[in-house]
Amino acid sequence: MGFEKIKGQEKNVKIIKEALLKGSMGHAVLLEGPTGSGKTTLGFLIAQALNCITGSGDPCDTCLSCKKIEKRVFPDLEFVEPKERWIKLEQIRGAKKNFLLYNQEGKYRIFFIKEAHCLTREAAASLLKIMEEPTEKMKFILTTPAPFRLPATILSRCSRVKTHRLSPELTGKLVKERYPLAPVEKVEIAVRLSGGIPGAAFAIMEDEAWEKRTGEVKEFGTSMVKGNISEAEIMEAAGKWAEREDVLNLLQWLMIFFRDGLLMKAGCRDELLVDHRHLSLWEKCPVVVSALEDCVNIIKDTIKTITTTNANIQLAVENMFLQIKGRLC
């Protein structure tokens, strides 16, 4: 199937295949775009195509190299991804030690770094040393949703390919093809929430706790909107949310809850809403548009703080809840 696995990125695929056929693929390629837009899949397809015995510019999926790369057991592939939110110096050093050996099996040795923006300063410096003087048999593949967080010295050594969001129609088609027996309501919510990112839609579809989690968020959000929750109860809820592994999912659904309310109060069409199950609440509540807009921004800022800094999650959530309560009063 090869590059046909990548849907909605035809222009990028055409450019990549032409470079592979002409032998003009640079020594380093940076795949940048939203999380879930297919960067990792595309990166592995490039690795396969570079080492495929057919040399056709498209992986055959059947040769030994293609199969081993797909299973991530190819001896000439070094795959590095974040551990505990960062890619650290020791990870790059360990991968470099293996990478600098002579080719064991394939045409090219592939150094694949997923979420390259998570490189620490020391790790990035170590990677740069090997990227500065690559041999003809070395190829680097990096992926990131945030290229601005990479050092300019690394960016300057990469050919950059930008993956993009898909249309709601194509996203919906892909979801229905993969989950033909899924409830229509869940498919519709996954497509709306994904924002044209297939990986995000698939993650929602595969989330077994989705219905329970969204129910919890609706119950809590409704209590906040109606003002029938005390500060003590808010602090208790913050502590419970902060301890959960799915805390980011909870925050994202809470943001969607208030976003839908904002759109309803602003007079937007129903089809722009993510979750139609809250319609009756927003039709009756007296909360003003500016307050809901503030709530959405407060949650968005909290998610950013938690994902990009070492902030205390419980304190961040507590502060967020109190700010929301203050805006809704």
Domain-by-domain residue ranges, the chain? 2-162, 207-328
Q: Determine the pLDDT at residue 254.
A: 93
Closest CA to 226 of 308, 281, 293, 307: 281
Class of domain 207-328: mainly alpha
Rounded CA gap, 182 and 164, in Å? 26
The pLDDT assigned to 169 comes to 93
Instruction: Give pLDDT, residue 269.
Output: 65
- Taking only the tens place, the pLDDT of each residue in 157-213 is 999 999 998 998 999 999 999 999 988 888 988 888 788 889 889 988 988 777 788
Whether the per-residue pLDDT at 110 is higher than 90: the answer is yes
Q: What is the pLDDT of residue 306?
A: 87
The domain 2-162 is placed in CATH, from the list 3.40.50.2300, 3.40.1350.10, 3.40.1160.10, 3.40.50.300, at: 3.40.50.300
**Per-residue pLDDT, 133:** 86
Token pair 């057919």 in the structure block, residue: 54
Return d(Cα 231, Cα 224) in angstroms, integer.
Answer: 10
> Given the structure tokens 């959405």, which residue do they identify?
296
DSSP string, 171-225: HHHHHHHH-TTS-HHHHHHHHHHHTT-HHHHHHHHT-TTHHHHHHHHHHHHHHHH
Is 251 buried (19+), middle (13-18) or exposed (0-12) by CB count in 10 A? buried
Range of lowest pLDDT (23-27, 126-130, 153-157, 322-326): 23-27
For residue 106, CA distances in Å to 66, 109, 134, 230, 265 come to: 10, 7, 16, 64, 59
Burial class (CB in 10 A: 0-12, 13-18, 19+), 60: middle
Q: Give me the mean pLDDT over the 265-284 stretch.
A: 74
Kindly report, residue by residue over 146-166, the tens digit of the pLDDT. 899 999 999 999 999 999 989
